[in-house]
Amino acid sequence: MSDQARFGVLMANLGTPEAPTPEAVRTYLGEFLWDPRVIDISRPVWWAILNGFVLRTRPKKVAEAYASIWTEDGSPLMSVSLKQQRALKAELKARFGVDVPVALAMTYGKPSMEEAGLELRRAGVERIVVLPMYPQFSRSTTAAVFDRLAKALKPCPHLPELRMIRDFHDHPGYIKALANSVREHWQQLGKQGHLLMSYHGVPKRYAEEGDPYPRHCERTSALVAEELGLGPDEWTMTYQSRFGREEWLKPYTDEVLTAWGKEGREHVDVMCPAFSADCLETLEEIAMQNKEFFQDAGGGEYHYIPALNDRDDHVAMLASLVEQHTQGW
């Protein structure tokens, strides 16, 4: 092989505000919540709700939540994503023997799909593996990456060849990395109680219309439990982060933890397998807010097991996915 890779990788995640301020959050939410993949109700109706109520009331509260987890390196999601980008690039070089361009893009906010595409174009890339950082497919996440990339490419006179990794919810390397993270947590603190696997929710209607997301989540959970040797009474699966009044996938994480607290459960470990990088929904909603729900209701010890982030086994699995999808290139 020459010293120039025959392909590049486009890593994609959701996005993040550029600062923990109401103004930055309003800009981010305005783009995120306007996507019909995320909120698919009538555009005129949703425009009135979004601009007349949501973007007037929600940014301040969300900015406060971001401020509680913001670091010297900025948004945790961005910081972790950049580490993943560098680690994947190093792992691919070790495997292929050449530098493989790896660009990072966010579906909403920066770096944009256009910026990432230009970076790959300047690197001379003609073929791109698109790697959405969502283990389980949903139309509100992975499909939104596809839409956003297609929009970015629409004005281009020269299109690259694309291969898109749809999901990796049952990939052996992914399951093993999740299980390893739990085992390491138990080695440090001891295996003391129940394991809760909390996934980002979607409206129940999406599943009824054919979105495979809940089936993917159920499969991931069952495989992790099997890898860890857990019995049915030792783990539970729930859904978090619901928005609006519509019914979402159940059971709801906050309601389950509150109920467990009232029962006086002494210990719970919580992990979030749908998130490849720690972010607002894991660090603030799960590690802080839901811990309060559990303990204020009477529960005991509560521990959040971090997302896979830039763990070596996680990065190796991502590289294996890329290697698999570049066969024939």
Ranges of each domain in the chain: 22-69, 172-304
Among 8, 320, 1, 37, CA closest to 163? 8
Query: Each residue of 259-273: pLDDT tens digit?
Result: 999 999 999 999 999
* CB-based contact 219:137 (threshold 8 Å): no
Among 142, 299, 306, 170, CA closest to 226? 170
Q: What is the pTM of this model?
A: 0.96
From the options 3.40.50.1470, 3.40.50.11290, 3.60.21.10, 3.40.50.1400, give the CATH code of 172-304.
Answer: 3.40.50.1400
Given a cut of 70, whether residue 196 has pLDDT beyond it is: yes
Q: What is the mean pLDDT of residues 199-218?
A: 97
Top-confidence residue, 210 or 5 = 210
- Quote the CA–CA distance of 195 and 230 in Å, as a whole number: 9
| pLDDT recorded at residue 5 | 77
Query: Each residue of 70-102: pLDDT tens digit?
Result: 999 999 999 999 999 999 999 999 999 999 999
Is 281 marked as binding a ligand? Answer: yes
Is 200 marked as binding a ligand? Answer: yes
Q: What is the mean pLDDT of residues 306-324?
A: 98
Cα 239 to the center of its chain, rounded Å: 14
Structure tokens at 29: 């939410």
| pLDDT recorded at residue 235 | 98
| pLDDT recorded at residue 1 | 41
